[in-house]
Structure 1
Amino acid sequence: MAKETEKQRWQRNFADLLQELRVAQTGVQILFAFLLTLPFSNGFTRATPFQKDVYIIALLSAAAAAAMIISPVAFHRALFRQGRKPELVRFSHHMATGGLAFMLISMVSAVLLITDFVLSRPIAVVLSAITAVWFLALWLVLPFARRNWGEDDIDDEDDDPVVLPGD
């Protein structure tokens, strides 16, 4: 198997990142759309001031997540054919990471909003905290704990766009 060139590696990292962003983008757009319609539903008038505050946090963090996850497209358009793939990959990586952080805030806030609406506040807080821990375990703890497992695996070599030269 021929070793890939640095240019090919950046191209592969960018393609991998775009695939990841497609998944995240769909999720954040669905959540954002749901949150945009919520104030127009009949039951929203019964929301408490706390629930409305949580709603605003969920809505604004979903908007921030959408903006950050979609921003690599605009950046790519601006840098198209300028030979700046490394800069694009680094920027896209940072935007994806920030977008996922805002998506986490939005999802946990949405869980808090709904559970606080249908259950007691203490139960809602506990369920939302469990949700946050679950997301953090799957999105942060497990991936970082996994980074050093199977270092001899040939299939995983240089497959992680998180570790970038000069980053």
Structure 2
Amino acid sequence: MRFTSSNQFSGHIYGTKSRQTSIGATDFLGANARMASLLPTAMRMGRLQKDCADALPPMFSDCDVLSFEDAQLVLATPTSAVAAKLKQQLPKLQGALTQRGWQINNIRLKVQVTRSIAPVVHTRQLDFPKTAVDAFAELGESLPDTPANARLIAAIKAMAARRR
């Protein structure tokens, strides 16, 4: 399948945390003829991930589709406990996916400690006005110096010092 322009197939790939990230990915894949051949597979896997998420209870939201080949679906689970609970849901999942048009003969589970999609890390630091920094510094000085407050006082003073 060839795409004549990168905007022809811009869309959200389910499973990505940001719509803008997935649009950037589809634009990148669609811009090159060789990479464009991967786009239908990526979109198919995204639809399968969405259908699995819709068919399973929310407690399995950390499970990901690893592969789907020869009518065998492989799902990643974050822990063996989740895998054990998910194993009980496999007949329901297989039935739901069959109703949605997926031909699945077997579902395997694979425990993976890390998720296949990296979490979004927010690195932006809040900006406090000078009055707020002064108020935190004053709070750090005015709290009673007890063993129960020691860590709180140290954290407040450190935060005020970093903001100055």
Same fold at TM > 0.5:
no
Higher relative contact order, chain-length normalized (CA < 8 Å, sep 6+): 1
Higher share in strand: 2
Larger CA Rg, structure 1 vs 2: 2
TM-score computed with the length of structure 2 as normaliser? 0.27
Larger helix percent: 1
